[in-house]
Amino acid sequence: MAEYSYLVLYLPRGTSRDAARRILTDHAEYGDWELARLRLYADGSRKATLRRQIIRPVRTL
């Protein structure tokens, strides 16, 4: 079973769709994050949950 670390981003309601896409793309491209969940609230704000896999090295003898 894979282990993940999570990052939660809150984007205020004034954030345009294009700006939100750019922010999420930068996190994915440079931080190896992937989008796990995106919630759009009635007031226009967004909550994005990003995740990336934790890779633990295995000791060899």
- Residue 60 in domain: no
Q: How many domains does the chain have?
A: 1
- Residue 34 in domain: yes
- Residue 61 in domain: no
Q: What is the pTM of this model?
A: 0.82
Instruction: Burial-class residue 33 by CB neighbours within 10 Å (0-12, 13-18, 19+).
Output: buried
pLDDT in tens, 10-41: 999 999 999 999 999 999 999 999 999 999 99
- Residue 59 in domain: no
Domain that holds residue 8: 4-53
pLDDT value of residue 37:
96
Q: For residue 34, report the phi and psi dihedrals to the nearest 5 degrees.
A: -125, 150
* Nearest residue to 5 via CA among 45, 49, 37: 49
- Residue 26 in domain: yes
